[in-house]
Chain A
Amino acid sequence: MTKISTGIPGLDDVFMGGILKGDAVLVQGTPGAGKTTLGLQFIYHGAKFCNEPGMVITFEEFPQQMYRDALNFGWDLQALERENKLRIISTSPGVFQRQVQDAQGIFQQQAREMKVQRIFLDSVSHFQRITTDPVQLRELMNSFLNTLKQGGFTTLLTQEVAHEERGVVSFEQYVVDAVIRIFVLEVRDFDRKRFIEVLKARGQNFISGKHAMQINEQGMRVYPRPMARRLYRASSAAVADSARRVPTGIGGLDRMLEGGLIEGFSALVAGDPGSSKTNFALQFLAEGVTQGERGLFIALRESPQKLMNSARSIGLNLEQMVNDGNIHILHHSPIQIDPDALYWEIEETLQKQTFKRVVLDSLTDLEPSFHDDIKRLRDYVYALIDLFTQHNITSIVTRQVGEETADKEVVESDLAMVFDTILALRLRRIQDHIRKTLVLLKVRGSNHDSGVRLFKVSNEGILVETKFEPTSRFLRQLQRL
């Protein structure tokens, strides 16, 4: 079975290589979901890049509107028409039905002349203009699809649905080979986002679930749901013993970690607000630069300028490191983050450039995008960490935890299992002073210092005092946590 590219970046990945040639694919969605854009992109891609001429049959939208809208994406459909690689035909369902089933009809004749391979029909909902009888409609669809199949065309058909419910199954879903559903869902009470889901694909595998989708100036793009590609590594001291240590550059912490983080492993730096999580991350990357290792800082809160100022306060010239190409900052405002799009942007960045260290600051800014879907958030972080591991990247992910959150909760949370190392940074009142403390809650596959340590942040960086003698009151406080 031959697969053909849909021309929609990411959608072929969802279909694990593309849709099957000769199949009929139904695209369902509410008005404005992007069905027509998807169809036009499929046709344009085939005609322009795959030497597969296409035919668009429209029952409602004027071709002139399609030409105009496509031009907004840079697709000159009329130029393709002049090259005989495309026809956009406005017609009525009844006329189309009669003509397409007649071998000498105008559609079949044009398809033969142009060697059409892709057809986009917008939309089958209009067949109801021929009949509203469900039995007749089904017969009509079946007969129509059989004609197209015999012609060897790969066909995309759109269908309007009245609402976003998935439970309703239309008969059209049964008679086609594959079904794609586009959802426009409200997020964060003030925004709407598009998702795409393959509900069915006869004879081929696909990635299930909802995938984020965007329409930008280049057209439609799908961001397949990030998934870890391999099983999570087992906890094994043997792994750690043979692994290279990656020093964090934080005085005292490397001693606690018996040399540093394990190469390719990931650490969660969880802490109270203002406990210097970002500074830990900055120092980790800066240490990498001194060791000749390039770093990527994924900043979801602080702007690059703010990060540079923060770095300066701990004696680091981040600006210089960025200018020298040793550190790359990938910044997105937390308000506009699409986590799936971010994942694929990171993936592309890692494909194009080599990094040995990565920081994600912070997970807290990403969490609202998951709308309390903890399982999806965990799977996402799992996939992200897996991506870093595939590139043999040692990573630090920061996360804010509330002061009232006990360390035990941090370790036992759903997210904790994803990380090899968990470091808790706390602000504690000790003898009428607010002190910064650090404890290694988890270090997979390695011995470590499990004591509670004080640390200081100065213009010379972070220094962990590896000899900390707490008062009995502080110890009681810790026990309560």
Chain B
Amino acid sequence: MPTSHNGWLRAVLDSPAKVELLAFFYLNQYTVDDAAGLSRWLGLDLEKVSIAAEELSQAHILTKIGEGKDAVFTLNRDEKIQEAVENFIKTYYLPLDQRHQILSDLLQGRTIPRD
């Protein structure tokens, strides 16, 4: 069960696609789109985005509506989730140098460093 603790969120975000996807949803909070649409918004490979969206929805960060290729994803509006996402993005994603470091770490198979 998710909590507002950042550690949980950092554990979930184990791929660059997930980080990019979460940042996109954070900055564009009312996005409603399917995996193909998200892949287009992000300019990332459809398969990677599909997996990332699916796993983020399983972690209750995104809400999935429908099934199959018509399934659409939205950001979970639960307050605790919102808070955790906001903390993560503000701490790790928005500062550009840290963002590059996170993506670089993830690409090399390392997890996001804890505080």
Q: Does B40 have its Cβ within 8 Å of any Cβ on chain A?
A: yes
Contacts A91-B37, A92-B40: A81 and B72 contacting too (C-beta < 8 A)?
no
In B49-108, which residues have CB < 8 Å from any A CB? 65, 70, 72, 74
Main DSSP-derived SS at the B contact region: mixed
Among A62, A81, A89, the residue within 8 A (CB) of B27 is A62
Q: How far is the CB of A252 from chain B (nearest CB, A)?
A: 74
Count how many chain A residues have C-beta atoms less than 8 Å from C-beta atoms of the other chain. Answer: 16
B31 contacts A106, C-beta separation under 8 Å: no
With the chains together, A94 CA to B34 CA distance in Å? 9
Could you tell me the distance between the alpha carbons of A359 and B79 in the complex, rounded to whole angstroms? Answer: 64
A92 — which chain B residues lie within 8 A by C-beta? 33-34, 36-37, 40
Per a CB cutoff under 8 Å, which of B33, B65, B70 touches A91?
A: B33
In the complex, what residues of B have CB within 8 A of residue A436's CB?
Answer: none
B72 touches which one: A62, A63, A64, A106 (CB < 8 A)?
A106
- Contact partners of A94 in chain B: CB under 8 A: 34, 37
Q: Name the one of A81, A90, A98, A99 contacting B31, with C-beta atoms under 8 angstroms.
A: A90
Contact at B34–A62, with CB atoms within 8 Å?
Answer: no
Chain A residues near B46 (CB, 8 Å)? none
* Residues on B with beta carbons closer than 8 Å to the beta carbon of A88: 28, 30
Partner of A62, one of B28, B32, B33: B28
Asked if residues B31 and A63 are in contact (CB atoms below 8 Å), the reply is yes
Give the docked Cα–Cα distance between A98 and B32 (Å). Answer: 12
A63 to B36, CA, bound (A): 18
Interface residue? A231 (CB, 8 A):
no
Q: Is the CB of B27 within 8 A of A91?
A: no
B41 within 8 A of A: yes
Residues of chain A with a CB closer than 8 A to B70's CB: 98
- Chain B: CB-nearest residue to A93: B37
When A62-B41, A90-B41, A106-B72 are in contact, do A95 and B32 touch as well, CB less than 8 Å? yes
Judged by DSSP, the binding face of A is helix
> With A and B bound together, what is the CA distance between A81 and B32 in angstroms?
16
B17-52 interface code vs A (CB 8 A; 1 in, 0 out): 000000000011111111011001100000000000
Expressed in whole angstroms, the minimum distance between the Cβ of B103 and any Cβ of chain A is: 19
Q: A90-B41, A106-B65 are in contact. Are A95 and B34 (CB under 8 A)?
A: yes
Give Cα A219–Cα B23 distance, bound, in whole angstroms.
29
Q: Does A87 contact B (CB under 8 A)?
A: yes
Closest to A98 in B: B70
Give bound CA distance, A92 to B70, whole Å. Answer: 11
Least CB distance, B15 to chain A, in whole angstroms: 22
Contact B31 A91 (CB under 8 A): yes
Q: Is the CB of B30 within 8 A of A107?
A: no
Residue of A87, A95, A99 touching B30 (CB-CB under 8 A) = A87
Interface centre among A88, A89, A95 (most CB of B within 10 A): A95
**CB-defined contacts of B72 to chain A, threshold 8 Å:** 91, 95, 99, 106
Contact B32 A91 (CB under 8 A): yes
**Shortest distance from the beta carbon of A47 to any chain B beta carbon, whole Å:** 14
**Interface positions of A from 43 to 92, Cβ below 8 Å from B:** 62-64, 81, 87-92
Partner of A90 from the list B33, B34, B36, B65 (CB cut-off 8 Å) is B33
With A and B bound together, what is the CA distance between A364 and B40 in angstroms? 54
CA distance A98 to B30 in the complex (A): 17
A254–B65 CA distance with the chains assembled, in angstroms: 84
Cα A77 to Cα B29 with chains together (Å): 13
Q: Are A95 and B27 in touch, CB under 8 angstroms? A: no
Contact of B28 among A64, A95, A99, A107 (CB under 8 A): A64
Q: List 23 A-B contacts (CB under 8 A).
A: A62-B27, A62-B41, A63-B27, A63-B29, A63-B30, A63-B31, A64-B28, A81-B29, A87-B30, A88-B28, A89-B30, A90-B30, A90-B32, A90-B33, A90-B41, A91-B32, A91-B33, A91-B37, A91-B72, A95-B33, A106-B32, A106-B65, A106-B74
Chain A: residues with CB nearer than 8 A to chain B?
62-64, 81, 87-92, 94-95, 98-99, 106-107
Q: Which residues of B contact A (CB under 8 A)?
A: 27-34, 36-37, 40-41, 65, 70, 72, 74
Lowest 3 A-B CB distances belong to which pairs? A92-B37, A63-B28, A64-B27
